[in-house]
Amino acid sequence: MKIVFTMQGDGRDGLTDRRFGRAETFLVYNSETDERQLVANTAVDAAMGAGLKAAESIVALGAVALVTGECGVKALHALHRAGVKVYSTDSTTFADALEDLRQGNLREATSA
């Protein structure tokens, strides 16, 4: 199962980004193999609709879930249409966010 986390910079520092569409990097975590892969977010500089473009990208990466700070209403709607679960986290590091997800401490974002 692939889970995408939004990361600051190139993601190597392990710091999460609260933003989805404007996060620089996606960390794709494979929960079966524990593999982690860093992928640049090509939507980061989009004039408009960065969240939608990013949604398209993570679905193409095979994500079934997204862990981020805030996800806008349009991106959330799109991700739900694609069957991707969206979790909100306040954790500032990937390690903490992953642990919270494992413990079932993250709340799932729902459409307003």
Partner 1 sequence: MKIAIASGKGGTGKTTLAVNLAVIAGRSATLVDCDVEEPNAHIFLKGDVAATETVSIRVPVIDENRCSGCRACVEFCSFNALISFGGPPLFFPDLCHGCGGCRLVCRSRAISEVTRPLGEVRRIDADLCILVEGCLEIGVSSPVPVIKAAKAAATGDFVIYDAPPGTSCPLVATLRGADYVLLVTEPTPFGLSDLRLTVEVLRQMNVEFGVVINRAVRSESLIHDYCHHEAIEVLGEIPEDRRIAEAYAAGRLIVDALPGYRPLFRSILEACLERVTA
Report d(CA 73, CA 14) in Å as an integer.
26
Stretch that binds partner 1, among 10-18, 34-42, 55-63, 87-95 (CB under 8 A): 55-63
The DSSP secondary-structure symbol of 4 reads E
Phi, psi dihedral angles at 111 (to 5 degrees): -65, 140
Q: Cβ 83 to partner 1, closest distance in Å?
A: 9
| Nearer to partner 1 (CB atom), residue 78 or residue 109 | 78
With binding defined as CB under 8 A, does residue 82 bind partner 1?
Answer: yes
Stretch that binds partner 1, among 30-38, 40-48, 61-69, 88-96 (CB under 8 A): 40-48
The amino acid that residue 84 corresponds to is: V
One of 12, 81, 102, 107 touching partner 1 (CB under 8 A):
81
With binding defined as CB under 8 A, does residue 44 bind partner 1?
Answer: no
Strand segments, DSSP code E, in 8-111 are 25-30, 36-40, 63-68, 85-88, 107-108
With binding defined as CB under 8 A, does residue 64 bind partner 1?
Answer: no
Do you know the residue count of the chain? 112
**Within 13 Å of residue 8, how many CA atoms lie on the same side as its CB?**
11
Return residues touching partner 1 (CB under 8 A): 43, 46-50, 52-53, 55-56, 59-60, 74, 78, 81-82
